[in-house]
Amino acid sequence: MGIWTTSRHRGGQQLGRLEGKVALVTGAGSGIGRAIAEAFAGEGARLAVNDIRGSRARATAERLARRGGHALPVQGDVSVESAVKDMVRKTLRAFSRIDILVNNAGVVTFVLVERMPPRIWDRMIAVHLRGTFLCTRYVLPHMLKAGSGKIINIASQRGQKGGPWLTHYAAAKAGVIGFTRSLALEVSRRNINVNAIAPGPILTGATISARFRRTVRGLPIGRPGRLDDIVPTALFLASDDSSFYVGQTLCPNGGDVML
Ligand code: NAD
């Protein structure tokens, strides 16, 4: 897959907050990942757009290019080591650097523990936790070599408060929060900034259901989250403004969890 691009006409305009940066966003073929990729591109970043579904990755890259961005679609399953290595290699070949990694790819299923086939458990942990580890594992050495980097992990309020039918998801997301803190302790003195976002219920294609509507009714803010409620937090964490945030989990969640 080649880089989708069209020329940018920004003569005389102020440069974006992420001008000159390269971002790799996983699961950017839809929902939150796509919105983050679009916002980063709007701030001048060049994007590697990953999704397990190649058609989705390509569609996002085309959207970004139509708006004047530079985007490389990189199909791959974040839980598969060879796919992640390939994705990182292609990104570096196209852009020579990766400044920002957003570990966003995710799935959600609803199953009671007493009925959960172990393969459902394993898949959940693999996509969220192994995926976050693998992408970080193969991007981090390049950031360390460059002397800077931003890693943003998308967790969930379920990783903080739990949820019935969601033990596998909640455990994976709690793991992402623990991974974020521990990695921050390892690398923050080497100028790698690691933080997480734990969104509350956000309206995306993945969430429209009666269960979602019930969850939203219990939210203190009284409405579902929108993509616009998450994107500014991701932009903040990707920008220089967040350099004193270390291993934190930011919570745009409509009041679902108050810390
Ligand atoms: P979504 O389904 O719209 O997007 C997820 C994308 O990830 C899809 O395009 C999917 O194809 C891709 N993907 C799935 N498995 C993958 C894999 N193994 N490798 C690469 N790509 C893969 O979902 P979303 O709501 O945008 O969720 C994005 C992230 O935000 C997830 O980590 C999710 O757990 C988290 N989150 C979502 C909500 C919410 O209410 N929507 C709340 C809290 C956290």
Among 12-26, 27-41, 135-149, 182-196, name the one with the lowest average pLDDT.
12-26
For residues 177 and 220, the answer to whether their CB atoms sit within 8 Å is no
* Segment 104-125 mean pLDDT: 98
Contacts of 16 (CB under 8 A, 6+ apart): 42, 43, 44, 45
Contacts of 203 (CB under 8 A, 6+ apart): 212, 224, 225, 226, 227
Record the tokens describing residue 46, joined without a space: 């060049």
Residue 169 appears among annotated catalytic residues: yes
The total of other beta-carbon atoms located within 10 Å of residue 115's CB is 8
Residue 8's pLDDT is 44
CA of 97 to the centre of ligand 1 (A): 25
Q: Residue 164 pLDDT more than 60?
A: yes
Tell me the CA distances in angstroms from 12 to 9, 18, 109, one per residue in order.
9, 17, 48
Tell me the CA distances in angstroms from 126 to 35, 53, 93, one per residue in order.
24, 17, 27
> 208 pLDDT band (50/70/90 cuts)?
confident
Burial classification of residue 54, based on how many CB atoms lie within 10 Å of its CB (0-12 exposed, 13-18 middle, 19 or more buried): middle
CA of 93 to the centre of ligand 1 (A): 26
Q: Residue 118 pLDDT more than 80?
A: yes
For residues 143 and 98, the answer to whether their CB atoms sit within 8 Å is yes
Q: Which atom of ligand 1 is nearest to the CA of 173?
A: 34
If one residue of 34, 79, 123, 204 were mutated to test the ligand 1 pocket, choosing by the most ligand atoms within 8 A of its CB, it would be 204
For residues 23 and 70, the answer to whether their CB atoms sit within 8 Å is no
Q: Whose CA is nearest to atom 19 of ligand 1?
A: 77
